[in-house]
Amino acid sequence: MADLFRLEDGSPKTAIVTGGAGGIGAQTIRAFCEKGCNVVIADLPFAQETAKHLISSLPEPNRAMYHPTNIVNWADVKSLYRKTIERFGQVDIVIANAGIMESQEFFDFEEDEDGELKEPVDAYRVIDVNLKGTRNNSDGARGSIVFIASTSGYFGGTGVVSYISSKHGVVGLCRSSQRIANQLQIRVNVVAPFFTPTYMTGGYATKWRERGLPANTVEDVATAVVRTATNPERKGHSVMVAGRVVREIETARRDLTKQWLGNEIAQIMADGGKFFDEMGGYPLPKAHG
């Protein structure tokens, strides 16, 4: 049986984890390292000491490296892949985990000194990091890419507008990548965690526990990430981790299309999809100018 964590020549696979210095990302680094992989922590410069401490705690620190990376900065991302290849030879797995949440309500409009609305910079930053940053890290892996979305990528009743919008975008990024991914023999999947106690959920984690509501642990999510990244049967799947229950939901969504839309609309959508398949994809309009 093939070792899912090694290449055909027996050398270890190399995994990059963005946002890898803390929370789910750090536990994912630990999990890959324990399986014998080379690991790369890609995180912001302020996380350098935390990343170094994480590396020193790993069973084989010599198979780990930290690279200061702002995933929204294309030069940083290029350097990340270049340095990883220089150190370990290639990139086999990318876990696009880095993400943030807004620090103020989307509809808490602020005015400048002239009484006009201020540009919602905080909201833009969430979209940039969670969606653009994830997109920036979908190019380099030879074998497997896992986007970390959220149950907020499927549901959205909490009013966290920018975060929910961006995570819906991450799910859409996975879906829309499948044609090219299959051509390139790259597997692109999503892991969508429900509530997991991390820095991002610190504002309500205690009350959540007091209510007795089910929660993930970072270990639960990291296990799902590693299994999704290395399972050759996972292609275009979305693995939801909710209260330690793990389910693949994207296949179920597709299977329920007729029940959801009705037979007539489902058939129209299927015929349209077949049309674009026969065209070899969506014909893009020419750029203006």
Q: How do the domains of the chain map onto residue ranges?
A: 14-250, 256-289
pLDDT for 1 equals: 56
Of the candidates 188, 239, 201, the residue with the CA atom closest to the CA atom of residue 100: 201
Catalytic choice (163, 199, 204, 282) = 163
Tens of pLDDT, residue by residue over 14-69, are: 999 999 999 999 999 999 999 999 999 999 999 999 999 999 999 999 999 999 99
pLDDT band at 105 (very low <50, low <70, confident <90, very high): confident
pLDDT exceeds 60 at position 140: no
Percent of the chain's residues with pLDDT above 90: 67
CA distance 129 to 77: 13
What local confidence, expressed as pLDDT, does residue 177 receive? Answer: 93
Q: 81-95, 172-186, 191-205 — which is least confidently predicted?
A: 191-205
CB 233 within 8 A of CB 248: no
* CA gap 63, 173 in Å, rounded: 31
CA distances from 107 to 13, 26, 103, 168, 207 (A): 45, 33, 12, 19, 25
The fold for domain 14-250 equals: Rossmann fold (3.40.50)
Establish whether 81 is a catalytic residue.
Answer: no
